[in-house]
Structure 1
């Protein structure tokens, strides 16, 4: 009976050792897989963080460029109030000289008609001269529109006359004026209105938000990974 019991104990001990060895091998394989996963995720996390930082940096640069160009022009503009202008007079007064490029170090003289448009703002009786936009106002203090100088002056003349006829037929047009009345000129359109500024700032804002979210997701993933490792150590 002793030999039989000893043989059974030896057999059971051998099986227990085999189970431990098998469990240990599985555990070593599991740990190795986890290490491989962590090693594979580490470069991916670094690349994701660099991507997020790059997106944030590019959005900041875009904000800087927009701030010194569009936003500065928008804030410096005095034509902030929108009203209704009634066209009183729209006539071509004279021909203005301009120059166009005909090649390297070659410039030639052409002409364009000067269209003058006078309007009444909001039926107040105040007569003002109408300009197309801020660039036209800076280029010419007399003409409604300054077209690009071309060799074919007749085509430019026809275009200006067409604009004049449309203004006469429309009679009422939306316009922008200076509420402080320091500038007598009113504008037909603004180069940079609120809608344009909003759409200009939309893309850098999306880029900034996307970069910040990428970095936050990577940091959250790292935190959850460390938390899971600590829980597994406690359970073991």
Structure 2
């Protein structure tokens, strides 16, 4: 009787039994299948995100490597440029030092500075001078050359002085117009000197350089250490110094601009 009444009234026990039995047959598998579908979908979504993230990381790694390679190449180029500029500066300084003790010193110590006009008074070969020439590694033989003496008259003062070829003749043999190279063939050297003497005789007036203080009793025909020679000797070292300085300055300016651009890009980010 109790069982029939409870069944008719729908007691909780019987309802619970129905719910459990009906849920076991139709409703309980649905939550399980939806959960599995959710897990599968969620796993698929996470797999897609991880794929995109891995691709992004790879691209970023490639970008970082490219940037590092580019920066390394730029740094190597900048180092080479700075090394080139420093080498040019050092080379120019060494050239200035060599020229300072040779050409510039001779230019500052020169005596014949004023240009004048000279009239040839006498040009003749007076004697022969003994000399020696090289015939091998440890071989020296003697020969001779003709000494040509030339006297000129200064048109400005009328003073008669000895004419020399250049400044080096004063140190070599001040009695002769110039000192030719000592050779074995004396006849060839004599012919050259005779030709020079005849050419000087044929010219009535020649330009010359004299000592303005009248301390030297001679004049020279040509200047070795003149303004033109000094200019040509200092031109290339100056160009080298300026070029090296410009290279170093450009590299430093490029580095400064790159640093400023990097700072500006960081601020914008």
TM bucket (normalised to shorter chain) is: 0.7 to 0.9
Residue 195 of structure 1 is matched in structure 2 by: 228
Q: Tell me the distance in 1 between the aligned counterparts of 2:113 and 2:63.
A: 68
After TM superposition, list the pairs within 5 Å mapping 1:1-12 onto structure 2.
Answer: none
The offset of 1:24, in angstroms, is: 7.2
| Within-5 A mapping of 1:130-141 | 130-141=163-174
Change (3 A) 1:29 1:107: closer
Q: Once the two structures are superposed, what CA deviation does each residue of 1:18-51 show, in whole Å capped at 9, x if it has no partner?
A: 9x95777666654443332112211111111111
Higher RCO (CA < 8 A, seq sep 6+):
1
Cα pair distance change 1:26/1:234, threshold 3 Å: farther
Q: Establish whether residue 102 from structure 1 lines up as the match of residue 135 from structure 2.
A: yes
State the partner residue of 2:25: none
| Deviation of the 1:234 alpha carbon | 0.8
- Give 2:30's aligned residue: none
Quick check: 1:214 aligned with 2:247? yes
What pairs up with 1:1-236 in 2 under 5 angstroms? 29-236=62-269
Q: 1:105 to 1:34 in 2, by over 3 A?
A: closer
- Once the two structures are TM-superposed, the CA of residue 107 in structure 1 deviates from its matched residue by 2.5
CA deviation map 1:133-169 (0-9, x unaligned): 1111111121101101111111111111100000011
TM-score in terms of structure 2 length: 0.76
Structure 1 residue ranges (4+ consecutive) displaced by more than 6 angstroms after TM superposition: 22-25
C-alpha distance in 1 between matches for 2:57 and 2:206: 85
Normalising by the residue count of structure 1, what TM-score does the alignment of the two structures yield? 0.87
Deviation at 1:125, TM superposition (A): 0.5
Report SS of the residue matched to 1:103: coil
8 Å CA contact retained: 1:55, 1:208? yes
Q: 1:104 to 1:223 in 2, by over 3 A?
A: closer
Q: How many residues align?
A: 224
CA distance in structure 2 between the partners assigned to 1:28 and 1:234 by the alignment? 23
> Which deviates more from structure 2 when the two are superposed, residues 208-217 or residues 93-102?
93-102
The alpha carbon displacement at 1:216 in A equals 0.6
RMSD: 2.3
Larger CA Rg, structure 1 vs 2: 2
